[in-house]
Homo-oligomer: A and B are copies of this chain.
């Protein structure tokens, strides 16, 4: 009984099938290598990822939804064998290109856009969050032992990881509020704390958790927090329940509430050293925000493509929807918003490439404030033209919208990014004001 509806699902195939490299994209990619990988990722998406979408969705609506869908593991094998693996590893962290393929952040950004259009695609290329961020931390700050134990299998895609900072009891956008305690006792750390929104903790493959917590409540404000590696499962570590996001639970990945009660880990699991939590957090966020934002732009392109096709295929009140002025204005506004946002993100990626994440701080704050909000609007307007179908499981739109919405919160709420931008702007005028 899926007639008309399943046709709709079929229609949900790759927008990029139809497009070869656009002028814009060509221009955005400075090196031949970036453009080569973009072509290959596009091809892989069209041949393997889009066609798998229905199967993944079926799995997500089945009883075994909290297990890993086989199709994704198969796709990982294929992607790896084609050398489309760990594409996110930036050339500068990977001198001989032994881990990844040696792309710049700017080059990878264009790939992230392609992957963004399908929710599980990043994982297929071992480019999914939060693993990429966690791998980056280990790559940059991990000890030899830590790398061997956790980075290697993560790069191999045999395990997954999670990152536990946010706590229900405090406003966690201000990381100085984090209260979990990491207490040194002999050769161990004892972890106590209550976390939530630990994404990925419910995934059966998740074997390691980076926990943020206080090692010294008497130190200077930005020296109190540290990051500790906690293997999963561990005694005293309880994954309490999945949280939902607009009714979606993102199984089997999941966003977990997690309790730590006297969880004990070897002291060698401390990353970089006590009190370095903030420093690590800072470093972790730059490229990850580029990835998130470019994936959102990929979602927007998909949404706009669906928007146009639907508008051209439906007739109401005497004409095609695509001939109605308000629908056309929405389409134009979406195109404009996407193009603007992409330029901003590419510029921020280039800034990281040129001067590092710290120097690109303002630009990173800007894209984080701009892109999720933009995506929310673009996808919302694509939903609207779909009528009630737009809210349902028959298009990817409602789910993509939920992603845009929560990305206005994760990695820091809009308000905090506006603050960063304002602060830097005002600083530029100090001395001028009288």
Residues in A lying within 8 Å of B, measured CB to CB: 1-5, 7-8, 11, 18, 23, 27, 166, 168-174, 177, 194, 196-197, 238, 240-241, 243-249, 257, 259, 304-305, 308-317, 321-322, 324-329, 331-333, 335-336, 339-341, 343-344, 347, 350-351, 366, 369-370, 384, 387-394, 398-399, 401-402, 405-406, 408-410, 413-423, 425-426, 428-430, 432-434
Question: Are A177 and B247 within 8 A (Cβ)?
Answer: no
A432 CA / B14 CA spacing, docked (Å): 11
Given A326-B329, A406-B391: A177 touches B418 (CB 8 Å cut-off): no
Bound together, the chains give a CA A315 to CA B433 distance in angstroms of: 12
Q: Flag if A4 contacts B168 (CB, 8 Å).
A: yes
User: Shortest CB–CB separation between residue A193 and chain B, in angstroms?
Assistant: 12
Contact A419 B317 (CB under 8 A): yes
Contact status of A408 and B384, CB under 8 A, knowing A194-B3, A245-B247, A340-B340: yes
Give A307 to B5 CA distance when docked, in angstroms. 39
Known contacts A168-B4, A415-B326, A410 near B388 by CB under 8 Å: yes
User: Could you tell me the distance in whole angstroms from the C-beta of A169 to the nearest C-beta in chain B?
Assistant: 5
Closest CB in chain B relative to A176 CB, distance in Å: 9
CB–CB A384/B409 < 8 A: yes
Q: Which residues from B are CB-within-8-Å of A409?
A: 384, 387-388, 390-391
| Measured CA separation A369–B433 after assembly (Å) | 29
Contacts of A389 in B (CB 8 A): 168
Interface of A is mostly: helix
Q: Which residues on B sit within 8 Å (CB–CB) of A423?
A: 328
Which B residues are in CB contact (< 8 Å) with A329?
Answer: 325-326, 415, 418, 422
**A314 with B171: CB separation less than 8 A:** yes
Q: Considering the chains assembled together, what is the distance between the CA atoms of A51 and B426 in angstroms?
A: 25
Contacts of A328 in B (CB 8 A): 325, 418-419, 422-423, 426
Query: Chain B: which residue is nearest A351 at the CB level?
Result: B23
Min CB–CB distance A404 → chain B (angstroms): 12
Q: Is the CB of B433 within 8 A of A402?
A: no
Chain B residues, CB < 8 A from A243: 388, 392-394
A390 and chain B: residue at smallest CB distance: B409
Set of chain B residues within 8 Å of A4, measured between Cβ atoms: 168-169, 194
Closest 10 CB pairs of A and B: A247-B247, A325-B325, A312-B433, A247-B248, A328-B422, A332-B421, A171-B316, A174-B316, A332-B418, A308-B429
Q: CB distance A308 to B339 under 8 Å?
A: no
> Which of B247, B321, B370, B384 is the one whose CB lies under 8 Å from A246?
B247
B194 x A429 contact (CB < 8 A): no
Other-chain contact of A332, B1, B3, B194, B369 (Cβ < 8 Å): B369
Contacts of A174 in B (CB 8 A): 315-317
Q: Is the CB of A418 within 8 A of B312?
A: no
A313 to B238 Cα, complex, angstroms? 27
Instruction: Please report the C-alpha to C-alpha distance between residue A3 and residue B169 in the assembled complex, in whole angstroms.
Output: 10
Contact B388 A166 (CB under 8 A): yes
The answer to whether A331 and B425 have CB atoms under 8 Å apart is yes
Given contacts A333-B418, A339-B366, A369-B336, contact A425 B308 (CB under 8 A): yes
Chain B residues with CB under 8 Å of A27's CB are 350
The distance in angstroms between the C-alpha atoms of A12 and B202, with both chains bound, is: 27
Q: Which residues of B contact A350 (CB under 8 A)?
A: 27
Q: Which of B314, B340, B384, B433 contacts A370 (CB 8 A)?
A: B340
Contacts of A333 in B (CB 8 A): 418
A384 partner residues in chain B, CB cutoff 8 A: 408-409, 413-415
> B426, A238: Cβ atoms under 8 Å?
no
